[in-house]
Structures are given as structure tokens and as C-alpha cells.
């Protein structure tokens, strides 16, 4: 007979209503439940993580432990060499008849959980932290079948009843308002300041601790929410102050502002301080009461219910294949400026330095500056993935594998994204003010003043012309090559060779 139960909660599962906690309490009552939270040294050192990410996770776990204790739970918050040691020592010390945990979102930790369950009284519940863990919109889909985001997204909206009318049709008559969401940001449009959350004593102590660890960036200045209440304030602040213009300017970039109208909710979402459906419903309410237009709300919902869920779904469907994918034969080392941030390219230097400072860049900077450059330059996908994992506060294996290998680098050849997301300097110039402050000219293809994005873009088109022509979504872009004669093509290729030869590849400092 089970009379005492331990609940093992991972640091990225800090849910208000954790399934394992609810199950344990239903079986034996709160007084007989002990919660285990583990600060695993092995996990903390698995990558050279951004220090702000370490502060986020550790401080959020410590606040979560305090909240559970205040609610009447016994909590064992322990530092241990690794998860397995902590679980075994906890069970030996506390003598629980059963341990319950929710399956990890990441493949490696979930494999460890299954291994421990072979010889310990560990029961694993399905991971329902993401909505596609609660409902698979396309069950039984073979991995050989390509599933595009739009198919997945519409199925999720139908199931969860998001932005639908009474007949089940999309509000406004369209599923997708992307075409309305590609406006550059005029200087005349004011941008509200990004929200900041002052660290309390727990977070300040965590910052001091993390500053002593190896890592990327600086923990000083940490200002992210680390409690459920603060995360909800962040959500409310976004809905009230930035959502209404998110749609129009979600693809815009600006040198002096790395947030603009983006929510910066992914750090809280990815560790359970917010749940996806509460975020989606808050955005829906804003539309229904007239606080935000449909293109803004649909564009934001697409990020959460569409892309975020789709990436998790693809991670567990084809992730094992993605991590070795290299469809474009990219084998160059990551340029050293990704680690030190010193580059003559204004956009790259600004975004990389901002990532080093804050651990954050919005999705267009990640895709059309960082990933775009890496794909055009032929950087090894695994190197790029490692940098993203190390550098971002919201980075987890399930987030980065499909986003980097699949969408950012098209390393799978089109399983996740239907086309390579590459562009010349013309796109960056149109959607940002970066080029105005740069020494390079975004309007010429080669030469000492040519923007490296142009040199590498046209070199990439030349190198992969036949393959790109065969892609119906990218073929029209290749038509631009008809303006390049043999001499011009040779000049572009020689410029690319010289440019890439000057980019040294170095390990992180």
C-alpha cells in the first residue's frame, strides 16, 4: 500500500498545477507528499550557458520551493552532482513508497527518467506542459511525411477553439494574417519600454552565486520574472502595452531596441511560470474587447499555438534525425565574432552583443540575422546549435534542435520549413535601421564595400542554383541570377572565398 509519495519536479516544469503533484495529493493527501527539486551540477554545466539563464532557472526554482512550502508541502531542494544521484539519495533519506514525475521535455533527461524507472519506484506521467502533449493534432503521422506548420496550426486552433467563430471558421475569414505583418518600423512610432522586474533577495543571492561560474554574458542586470505572479504581470503588461502593434511590426528590427513589440514571455513559458493556453486566451480577450486588432492577435497566437507547439511536436517526431542533418553540406567553423561580438557588420555586432548582454533577441533577429548569416556562410549546423543553446535564456534542446537545424539552417532539406530562410542585405535594409549605421553598402554585390550578406547570398544562389530553382517557394528568387554574367558570377565567388577566409573560427572564451 502506498502511504507516502515523493514528487520530482524539474526546473523547467514549475507549473502552478503540476500533474505529478496533483496526482500525488489525490492519492495520499498533501501531508504525505514531499517535493524534490534538484539543482544538478551536471545539468548546469552541460553547456557554457548564459549566466542569466542560470539565474532564471535557479532563482525560479528557489521561489517555487518557497511557494510550495508556504502552501503546506514538504520540499527537498537539493544541490547534487546529477539528477540520478539526487533521486536515489532522496528516496533513501525520505523513504517514499512511490515517486511520481512528469516526463521531461528534453530527450536526454527523459531517457534518464526512463532508465531510473527500471529499478526505482518511479512513475512517469505524460508531459502535458505543451498543448500538443495534451492533444496530438495529427496522430500517427509517419516521419517520412512532411507536415507544414499551417496544417498543424489550423488543427490546433480547431481543437482548442482559438480565434474561431460559432461555426468553427477563423475569425475574419482568414487563418493567416502574415501578409499584414511585414511592415518596417517608422521612427515616428513610439515603442514602450521593455518590462523589468527588480531582483529580490533570493535572486540577488543567485546572481552573486552565478557570477562565479563559467558562462556566457553577465548576470548583473538580470530583470526577468522568476515567480508566477511576476510572469502574469509580464503577460498583462505585454497585452496592455505592446500586443496591439505586434502584428504590424513583428518582423521589424531596430538597432537601439532589441524588444520592440515582442512579448519576451518565452523565458517564463519555457519553465512553466506561464502556461500556453493562459497566454493565448489573454491575447484572444484583447481582441474581443477591442484592445488589439486581429492581425496582431493572430500573429501572436501563431507564435505560441503554431510555431512553438509545432517545434516541440517536430522535436519528438523527427528530432533524432535533425541533430545529424546537414543537407547543404555546411562544414565551416562558427566565426569567432559570435563569441566576442566584434564585427564590422553593424547588424551582427549589435545583435550578438545584445545577446551576450541579455540572453535575448527576438525571432526575426534570430532567423534573418544570425541563422541567415550562418546558412549563407556554410557554418556547421551542430556548431550553430551549440551557440544558440549556450547564448539564449529561453534555449532548451526541444526549442533549438528544430529551430536551428530545421528552420534556421534548413539542414533537414525542408522537413520543418518549406524553404531556406535566407536573404540579402536588401531585406535587412528594408526591415531595420541597421544598414544606416554600417560601413558596408547593402546595394552592391561584391567589392570592399559590399555587405557580406550580399556577397554570401549571391554566392549561395550560384552554388546551389539548380536545387533552389526546383523549390517552388524559392525558385523566383533565383531568377535574379539572370542579371549576372560569367564575369560577375566569378567576382562574387572570389569575394565570398576571400571573405570567409578572413573569418577565424575559435572556441568560446
For residues 351 and 450, membership in a common domain is answered with yes
Query: Do 149 and 295 reside in the same domain of the chain?
Result: yes
* Cα of 433 vs its chain's centroid, Å: 24
For the chain, the C-alpha Rg in angstroms (whole number) is: 24
Q: Please report whether residue 448 resides in a domain.
A: yes
Do 288 and 370 share a domain, yes or no? no
Which residue range(s) make up the domain with 18? 5-129
Q: Which of 89, 111, 129 is the last residue of a domain?
A: 129
Number of domains in the chain: 3
Residue 65 lies in a domain: yes
Q: Which of 292, 308, 324 is the last residue of a domain?
A: 308
374 domain residue, yes or no: yes
d(CA 226, CA 60): 5
Give the largest Cα separation in the chain, rounded: 82
Q: Which three cell numbers stand for residue 307?
A: 510555431
If asked whether residues 27 and 121 sit together in one domain, one would say yes
Residue 396 falls within a domain, yes or no?
Answer: yes
Per the domain annotation, does 215 fall within a domain?
A: no
Gap between the Cα atoms of 66 and 50, Å rounded: 25
120 plus 156 within the same structural domain: no
Q: Are residues 183 and 250 in the same domain?
A: yes
Q: Is residue 379 part of a domain?
A: yes
Integer Cα distance of 111 and 83 in angstroms: 12
The enclosing domain of 111 has a CATH number of: 3.40.50.620
CATH number at residue 177: 1.25.40.80
pLDDT (0 to 100) of residue 475: 80
**pTM given for the model:** 0.96
Residues 390 and 266 placed together within one structural domain of the fold: no
410 and 379 share one domain: yes
CA distances, 447 to each of 160, 462, 482, 500, 504 (Å): 53, 17, 20, 14, 20
C-alpha grid cell for residue 117?
524507472
**Same domain for 470 and 354:** yes
Question: ∠ at Cα 346 (344, 348), nearest 5°?
Answer: 90
Distance CA 341, CA 362 (A): 17
- Beta bridge partners, 288, equal none
The packing angle between helices 149-160 and 309-322, to 10°, is 140
Both 186 and 255 in one domain: the answer is yes
* C-alpha span between 174 and 171 (Å, rounded): 7
Does residue 234 form part of some domain?
no
Alpha helices in 145-227 (DSSP H): 149-160, 201-211
What local confidence, expressed as pLDDT, does residue 471 receive? 86
Three-class SS state of 170: strand
Which residues partner with 458 through β-bridges? none
Give, for all 509 residues of the chain, the pLDDT tens digit: 789 999 999 999 999 999 999 999 999 999 999 999 999 999 999 999 999 999 999 999 999 999 999 999 999 999 999 999 999 999 999 999 999 999 999 999 999 999 999 999 999 999 999 999 999 999 999 988 999 999 999 999 999 999 999 999 999 999 999 988 899 999 999 999 989 999 999 999 999 999 999 999 999 999 999 999 999 999 999 999 999 999 999 999 999 999 999 999 999 999 999 999 999 999 999 999 999 999 999 999 999 999 999 999 999 999 999 999 999 999 999 999 999 999 999 999 999 999 999 999 999 999 999 999 999 999 999 999 999 999 999 999 999 999 999 999 999 999 999 899 999 999 999 999 999 989 999 999 999 999 999 999 999 999 999 999 988 888 888 888 998 999 999 999 999 999 999 997 766 65
Among 91, 109, 129, give the residue marking a domain's end. Answer: 129
The vertex-375 CA angle with 371 and 379, nearest 5°, equals 100
Task: Specify which residues 102 forms β-bridges with.
Answer: 125
Q: Quote the Cα angle for 259-399-311, to 5°.
A: 105
pLDDT on residue 211: 97
Grid cell at residue 272 = 512553466
Residue 315 within a domain: no
- pLDDT score for 159: 98
User: What CATH number is attached to the domain comprising 377?
Assistant: 1.10.579.10
For the chain, count helices (H), then strands (E): 25, 5
Same-domain pairing of 279 and 185 = yes
290 in the same domain as 148: yes
52-55 contacts at long range (C-beta below 8 A, 24 or more positions apart): 52/217, 52/218, 52/219, 52/222, 52/224, 52/358, 52/359, 52/393, 53/267, 53/359, 53/392, 53/393, 53/394, 53/395, 54/210, 54/213, 54/215, 54/219, 55/203, 55/206, 55/207, 55/210, 55/219, 55/222
pLDDT value, residue 46: 94
Amino acid at each position: 500500500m502506498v502511504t507516502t509519495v515523493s514528487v520530482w519536479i524539474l526546473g523547467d516544469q514549475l507549473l502552478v498545477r503540476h500533474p505529478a503533484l496533483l496526482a500525488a495529493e489525490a492519492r495520499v493527501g498533501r501531508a504525505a507528499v514531499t517535493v524534490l527539486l534538484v539543482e544538478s551540477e551536471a545539468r548546469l554545466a552541460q553547456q557554457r550557458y548564459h549566466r542569466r539563464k542560470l539565474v532564471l532557472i535557479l532563482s525560479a526554482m528557489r521561489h517555487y520551493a518557497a511557494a510550495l512550502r508556504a502552501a503546506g508541502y514538504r520540499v527537498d531542494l537539493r544541490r547534487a552532482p546529477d539528477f540520478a544521484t539526487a533521486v536515489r539519495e532522496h528516496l533513501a533519506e525520505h523513504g517514499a513508497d512511490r515517486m511520481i514525475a512528469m516526463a521531461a521535455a528534453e530527450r536526454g533527461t527523459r531517457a534518464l527518467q526512463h532508465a531510473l524507472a527500471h529499478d526505482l519506484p518511479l512513475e512517469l506521467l505524460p508531459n502535458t506542459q505543451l498543448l500538443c502533449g495534451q492533444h496530438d493534432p495529427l496522430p500517427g503521422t509517419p516521419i517520412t511525411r512532411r507536415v507544414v506548420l499551417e496544417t498543424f496550426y489550423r488543427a490546433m486552433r480547431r481543437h482548442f477553439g482559438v480565434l474561431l467563430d460559432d461555426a468553427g471558421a477563423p475569425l475574419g475569414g482568414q487563418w493567416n494574417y502574415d501578409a499584414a505583418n511585414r511592415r518596417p518600423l517608422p521612427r515616428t512610432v513610439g515603442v514602450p519600454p521593455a518590462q523589468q522586474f527588480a531582483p529580490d533577495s533570493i535572486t540577488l543571492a543567485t546572481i552573486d552565486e552565478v557570477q562565479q561560474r563559467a558562462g556566457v554574458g553577465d548576470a548583473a542586470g538580470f530583470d526577468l520574472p522568476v515567480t508566477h505572479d511576476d510572469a502574469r504581470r509580464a503577460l498583462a503588461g505585454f497585452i496592455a502595452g505592446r500586443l496591439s502593434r505586434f502584428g504590424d511590426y513583428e518582423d521589424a528590427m531596430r538597432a537601439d531596441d532589441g524588444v520592440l513589440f515582442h512579448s519576451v514571455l518565452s523565458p517564463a513559458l519555457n519553465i512553466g511560470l506561464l502556461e500556453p493556453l493562459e497566454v493565448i486566451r489573454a491575447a484572444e480577450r484583447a481582441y474581443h474587447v477591442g484592445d488589439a486588432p486581429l492581425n496582431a492577435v493572430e500573429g501572436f497566437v501563431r507564435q505560441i499555438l503554431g510555431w512553438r507547439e509545432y517545434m516541440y511536436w517536430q522535436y519528438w517526431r523527427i528530432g533524432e534525425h535533425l541533430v545529424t542533418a546537414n543537407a547543404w553540406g555546411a562544414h565551416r567553423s562558427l566565426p569567432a565574432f559570435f563569441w566576442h561580438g566584434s564585427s564590422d557588420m553593424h547588424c551582427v555586432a549589435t545583435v550578438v552583443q545584445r545577446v551576450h548582454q541579455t540572453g535575448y533577441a527576438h525571432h526575426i533577429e534570430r532567423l534573418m540575422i544570425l541563422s541567415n548569416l550562418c546558412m549563407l556562410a556554410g557554418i556547421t549546423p551542430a556548431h550553430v546549435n551549440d551557440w544558440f543553446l549556450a547564448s539564449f535564456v529561453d534555449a532548451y534542446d526541444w526549442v533549438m534542435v528544430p529551430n536551428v537545424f530545421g528552420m534556421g539552417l534548413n539542414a533537414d532539406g525542408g522537413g520543418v520549413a518549406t524553404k531556406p530562410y535566407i536573404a540579402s542585405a536588401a531585406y535587412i535594409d528594408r526591415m531595420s535601421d541597421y544598414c544606416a549605421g554600417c560601413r558596408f553598402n547593402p546595394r552592391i554585390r561584391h567589392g570592399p564595400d559590399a555587405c557580406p550578406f550580399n556577397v554570401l547570398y549571391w554566392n549561395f544562389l550560384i552554388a546551389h542554383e539548380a536545387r533552389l530553382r526546383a523549390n517552388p517557394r524559392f525558385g523566383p528568387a533565383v531568377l535574379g541570377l539572370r542579371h549576372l554574367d560569367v564575369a560577375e558570377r566569378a567576382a562574387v565567388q572570389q569575394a565570398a572565398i576571400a571573405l570567409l577566409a578572413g573569418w577565424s573560427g575559435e572556441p568560446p572564451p
